[in-house]
Amino acid sequence: MRRTFPGHPAAPGMALGRVRLEQPARFSIDTSPLPDAEIDAEVARLERAFAVAREDMAELRRKLHGALAREVGEFIDAHAQLLDDPDLIEGVRAMIRRGHYRAAAALKAQRDRLVAVFDEMDDPYLRSRGEDVDHVIARVQSALARQASAEEKKLATRVGEILVTDSVAPGELAHLASHGILAVVAGSGSPYSHTAILARSLHLPMLVNADGVLEDLRDGDLALVDGVRGEVVVHPAAQDLARYRTWQRDSLREGQRLAELAGAETRTRDGHQLRLFANAERPEDIERARNLGVAGIGLYRTEFLFLAHDGLPTENEQFTAYRDALLGAGGLPVTIRTLDLGADKADAAGLVTAAEPNPALGVRGVRLSLRQPDVFITQLRAILRASCYGPLRILVPMVTDAAELTEVRRLIEECGRDLRTAGFEIPEQFDLGAMIEVPAAALNVRAMLEVADFLAIGSNDLTQYILAADRNNDQLGKLYRPAHPAVLRMLAYVIARARAARKPVCLCGEIAGDPAFAPILVALGLDDFSMQPDRILGQRDALSRCERKTLRKLVPRLLRARGSEEIAALVASVQVTA
């Protein structure tokens, strides 16, 4: 019988396939006591399973590049650390040796114990980390099951399936996508989580907050996932299959039409010129962006140099990377963001930091750079040395106070003098910008504009901090809404202040490349957008349909709106009549 289940679109597209229900219960757990004679062999099975899981993670890390590596890397690193946690491993070993548990039962018991500890924590950030334990132990359980049964391995590599699950980690999604998963339906989650971002990068249709799917769907059910309408159709009827075939034809034609926009100017329907920049971190990102006709690189991330390096990268190694970025841009401006790491990833990058209970609110971005001046000065020197190879701007992340930017400018000037004395050709002036991603910086943006030459709004973190909602916490998916009135008022204020000061302001983050958000950002007066290269053509097309004069008149009503639904209705009404 045909049934439909509504969900929230997180990645567009449609897919038809068989349901693969992913739940912890799919692992067969033998709870019978383990005989003494089998203890050593069972411990060996456990250790092999951990080894397989570690190799899976390492192999996945090796395969990922560019934006994919950035989105998934931090989760892979966190899970890899858990797989090496001696307390976790020794706890399971002890259950086998002393409690006569079988390995799968010991893993489940350890999982239940650890998740219960996390659930009792007051800090919501730490409480959400229990999901990492879930994902890691599920990976070990899978490795353990693969030792016992070829069927499990066959299931993991089967193609043409729709993954139906409560939640999925980015690393696991990347692995499943490489083994033929066609789409994802999650019972929880947010369209702005790292997993959703990754699904869009992989062109994998995804729905989140799909109620009832875990209870009512069964392995093997034929399902049609519609990431446009936001629904799953189980046992689709003839008209559903016809709609799917129509979408396939239309999608092919749409891709061909968008390809014709490569290199075109970006203008609204009433002729107002906008500028689309690309986010990048590797030469291939820059090459793709240039081929699409971007105005420049609006955000060049430098973290990969540190995370992919054995120890801290030297000045010359960094200089080479920045020089190549500028040369690859072919004369287009490149905005290099200084190191944006927190204590949760700094150790992996070769930096020594103290453990923090909440890294999102800790020593990260410019806070870390100013506390590690030797590392920061090395990076600044490398950036300045590269500046003679093309137009360059320096962007500072996680700025809270204008005094931080003043100190960075002092260090830049000091590095410039030292380099000129050493014989390097260094320009006298550099454009220095501040990332506006902390509410304090947004509210005090007038003071920031007195020091900064330009601004870049980091909408992902700004939204997270305004709403006090971790976008990667599946339980808060419905709370993390960039279209929340409080977020829009903050964006409007920052954009208006920058325009009044006649200083450029660019928006980086997921909403910059979201076609659904295009009319809202045009209404707020934004002219510069920076996004992943694969979002350029779709956003150029969406912006070309916006009537700027009409949308600008909408601002007073937008800023008085009391909820996201009212905002969406306002924009829809204007878009229809424009």
Contact (CB, 8 A) for 54 and 197: no
Number of Cβ within a 10 Å radius of residue 62: 9
Q: What is the pLDDT of residue 184?
A: 94
* Strand positions, DSSP E, 14-150: 14-22
pLDDT, tens only, 259-268: 999 989 999 9
Q: Is 415 a catalytic residue?
A: no
Name the catalytic one among 8, 135, 175, 508. 508
* Strand positions, DSSP E, 175-230: 181-186, 206-208, 222-226
The answer for 267, left when phi > 0, alpha when psi is -120 to 50, beta otherwise, is beta
487 in helix, strand or coil?
A: helix
The answer to whether domain 266-548 has CATH 3.20.20.60 is yes
User: Which residues does 354 contact at the CB level (< 8 Å), separation at least 6?
Assistant: 343, 363
User: Which residues does 450 contact at the CB level (< 8 Å), separation at least 6?
Assistant: 402
> Quick one: CATH architecture of 3-251?
Orthogonal Bundle (1.10)
d(CA 543, CA 471) in angstroms, rounded, equals 26
In degrees and rounded to multiples of 5, residue 414 shows phi and psi of: -65, -45
Name the catalytic one among 194, 415, 484, 506. 194
Closest CA to 487 of 538, 453, 548, 439: 439
d(CA 181, CA 173) in angstroms, rounded, equals 9
Number of Cβ within a 10 Å radius of residue 34: 20
pTM check: above 0.75: no
Q: Tell me the C-alpha to C-alpha distance, in Å, between residue 301 and each of 2, 304, 325.
A: 47, 7, 11
Average pLDDT, the chain: 85
Q: In one letter, which amino acid is 138?
A: A
Which regions in the chain score pLDDT beneath 70? 23-29, 59-78, 119-131, 142, 145-159, 309, 342-354, 574-578
d(CA 443, CA 391) in angstroms, rounded, equals 30
Q: Domain coordinates of the chain in residue numbers? A: 3-251, 266-548
